[in-house]
């Protein structure tokens, strides 16, 4: 027998199907080899034009684990409910903030930028499962509701009378006629392209991109205020940002999440301004190029520089360069320095566990307070992160733009461990209230919503031995974690991937554990080898142009696009040290656009 939840889903699905039966789905695109990289991801693969496009299902390295085989979140092997997500967060993950000895906040923030470029779960906005911290009666609640219960004795949220946290289930193939597939198992949809194509800057459709362009000289829209360039205003800022009225800042970019935190907004702005810098320089060098050619060439170079930074400057920090070489994440180059392993049989679709569990490893690195740093590199104060979620107007107050930019460059992120800053464990998106929601609890509940298989199932997929006892976990997990897990779960086979993977000790020369490393390495390999337009593939650039692209660094992008920044450490992802000294921006390598006739 199907559960009540499953029955409700079938009713909702039937209703949705009757409405969507009249939906006109996009036609399969007609491709040709001469096309530039399409904004919606289509035609990257000439044999499979729809691969990598937005609004397609996530991939699955391991089959889904639903209690009813269709959609209902999983249970324990005995059939009981899995442990409460908020209780797991409280009992397994601490709140001690410890500064990383080497890495900057730029590094952590760039990780969120990359994550947003690769995936965005399609959501049904506006549904309330918890209203003002009180659960909506079951008979009135949507079948999409999967709220997180909060105990009365919860040490933070319970003290404020919070009974639950809102969580709405992700849209799936069962509710989207255009994404339908064979079988009845729900597969969640990602609303962005699966490529590292700066869709966060340019959007995921021609229509979205058009709203961001000036259609003059290849430029993207910006506004000039008080001697600085700013991202354009969002046309519906009160619905997008936590603002009181239209006078407060809220920016329009290729991704609606760009306003989530001040540093994320700064990264977005840097890559938008980098596009415009490239377009202006190309226009000076090529007087005959029109707006369309300038835009496409600036976009192509911007994406290439970004891909170079992701694979060669940033990913080795967290996944380990040796790990990346051994698993094919980094290519073996031919004598002309081109990659030769593009594979048209590899679907670039982002794995569900990658997006919903493994890549959320970066949540542990978030710093709760953002330093305001003077030109002397000395902190002059800080702002509380939870005060400014979805409130980017802080950047335009006083000299915060410069101070927060330098803070991002000189402040370390938190250490990768089993600790989360209280700012995201109790106060995430509090919007001026006394408390907010718990990011770790949401991660656990969202993974269950997506039917992710267990930690042990993913170990088996990775070729690792399944764990058969709590004692076996002691050597795999951080100190004391195995004992604490045994107090929360009935069996080692019930442990959530989002929990077990996050508690593992670092693997090889990377920072994540062996299970998360396996998932991350496999996805970033697939993302590269499935991308016909990856910057190192033969035919994308000439050999001389490729040599120039390889000069790109995060430090140079920040130097060129943060107003007033005159010096920076050579490697922006690392703190200042004897090996990584502060230098004048003028001393950093420059990509010479004279190579682009």
For residue 282, what are the CA distances in angstroms to 90, 101, 198, 218, 221?
53, 40, 19, 9, 17
> What is the spatial distance between Cα 85 and Cα 78, in angstroms, rounded to a whole number?
18
DSSP-assigned letter for residue 58: P
Dihedral angle at the C-alpha atoms of 138, 141, 146, 151, nearest 10 degrees? -50
Q: Which residue has the tokens 């992710």?
A: 452
Q: Closest Cα to residue 159, out of 373, 426, 420, 408?
A: 426
Q: What is d(CA 9, CA 173) in angstroms, rounded to the nearest whole number?
A: 12
Secondary structure percentages of the chain, helix, strand, coil, to 5: 40, 10, 50
Would you give the distance in Å from CA 441 to the centre of its chain? 18
CA distance 41 to 118: 11
Residue with tokens 């993207």: 220
Q: What is the 3-class SS of 467-489, one letter each residue?
A: CCCHHHHCCCECCCHHHHHHHHC
CA distance 255 to 204: 9
Work out the widest C-alpha separation in the chain, in whole angstroms. 71
Q: Is 52 left (phi over 0), alpha (psi -120 to 50) or beta?
A: left
Closest to 241 (Cα-Cα) out of 428, 393, 133, 456:
393
Is position 413 annotated in a ligand binding site? no
8-15 — which CB contacts under 8 Å span 24+ positions? 8/143, 9/70, 9/71, 9/72, 9/143, 9/174, 11/143, 12/143, 12/144, 12/175, 13/174, 13/175
Closest-CA residue to 156 (of 384, 417, 422, 389):
422
CA–CA distances in Å: residue 574 to residues 266, 411, 469, 568: 18, 10, 39, 11
The C-alpha atoms of residue 136 and residue 59 are separated, in whole angstroms, by: 33
CA distances from 493 to 393, 415, 422, 441 (A): 47, 28, 30, 20
Sign of CA dihedral 179, 184, 357, 157: positive
Sorted by sequence, the CB contacts under 8 Å of residue 306 that are 6+ apart come out as 196, 198, 271
Just list the catalytic residues: 116
Nearest to 147 by CA among 81, 235, 219, 86: 86
Tell me the binding residues for heme b: 363
Tell me the binding residues: 363
């Amino acid at each position: 027998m199907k559960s009540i939840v499953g029955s409700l889903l079938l009713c909702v699905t039937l209703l949705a199907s009757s409405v969507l039966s009249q939906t006109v789905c996009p036609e399969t695109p007609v491709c040709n080899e001469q096309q530039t990289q399409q904004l919606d991801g289509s035609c990257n693969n000439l044999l499979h034009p729809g691969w990598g496009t937005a609004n397609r299902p996530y991939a699955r390295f391991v089959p889904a684990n639903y209690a009813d085989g269709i959609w209902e979140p999983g249970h324990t092997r005995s059939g009981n409910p899995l442990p409460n997500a908020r209780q797991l967060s409280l009992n397994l993950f601490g709140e001690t903030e410890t500064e990383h000895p080497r890495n900057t906040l730029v590094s952590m923030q760039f990780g969120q930028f990359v994550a947003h470029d690769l995936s965005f779960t399609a959501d049904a906005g506006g549904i309330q499962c918890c209203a003002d911290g009180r659960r909506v009666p079951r008979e009135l609640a949507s079948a999409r509701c999967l709220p997180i219960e909060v105990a009365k004795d919860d040490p933070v949220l319970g003290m404020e009378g919070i009974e639950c946290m809102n969580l709405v289930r992700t849209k799936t193939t069962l509710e989207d006629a255009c994404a339908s597939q064979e079988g009845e198992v729900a597969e969640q949809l990602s609303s962005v392209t699966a490529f590292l194509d700066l869709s966060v800057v340019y959007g995921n459709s021609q229509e979205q991109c058009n709203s961001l362009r000036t259609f003059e000289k290849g430029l993207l829209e910006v506004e000039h205020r008080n001697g600085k360039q700013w991202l354009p205003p969002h046309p519906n800022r009160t619905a997008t940002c936590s603002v009181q009225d239209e006078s407060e800042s809220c920016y329009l970019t290729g991704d609606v999440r760009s306003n989530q935190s001040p540093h994320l907004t700064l990264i977005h702005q840097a890559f938008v301004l980098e596009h415009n810098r490239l377009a202006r320089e190309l226009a000076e060098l090529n007087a005959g190029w029109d707006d369309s050619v300038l835009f496409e060439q600036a976009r192509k170079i911007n994406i290439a520089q970004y891909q170079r930074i992701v694979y060669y400057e940033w990913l080795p920090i967290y996944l380990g360069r040796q790990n990346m070489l051994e698993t094919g994440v980094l290519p073996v180059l031919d004598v002309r320095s081109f990659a030769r392993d593009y594979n048209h049989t590899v679907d670039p679709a982002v794995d569900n566990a990658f997006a919903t569990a493994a890549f959320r490893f970066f949540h542990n690195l978030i710093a709760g307070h953002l330093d305001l740093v003077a030109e002397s590199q000395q902190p002059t104060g800080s702002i509380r992160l939870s005060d400014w979620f979805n409130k980017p107007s802080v950047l335009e107050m006083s000299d915060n733009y410069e101070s927060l930019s330098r803070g991002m460059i000189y402040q370390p992120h938190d250490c990768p461990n089993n600790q989360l800053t209280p700012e995201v464990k109790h106060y995430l998106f509090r919007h001026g209230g006394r408390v907010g929601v718990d990011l770790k609890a949401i991660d656990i509940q969202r993974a269950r919503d997506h039917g992710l298989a267990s930690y042990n199932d993913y170990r088996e997929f990775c070729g690792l031995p399944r764990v058969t006892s709590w004692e076996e976990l002691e050597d795999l997990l951080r100190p004391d974690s195995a004992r604490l897990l045994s107090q929360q779960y009935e069996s080692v086979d019930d442990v959530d991937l989002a929990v077990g993977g996050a508690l593992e000790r670092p693997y090889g020369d990377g920072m994540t554990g062996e299970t998360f490393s396996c998932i991350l390495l496999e996805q970033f390999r697939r993302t590269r080898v499935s991308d016909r337009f990856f910057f190192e593939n033969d035919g994308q650039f000439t050999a001389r142009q490729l040599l120039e692209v390889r000069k790109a660094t995060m430090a140079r992008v920040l130097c060129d696009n943060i107003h007033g920044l005159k010096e920076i450490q050579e490697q922006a992802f690392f703190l200042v040290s004897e090996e990584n000294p502060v230098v004048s921006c003028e001393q950093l390598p420059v990509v010479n656009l004279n190579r682009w006739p």
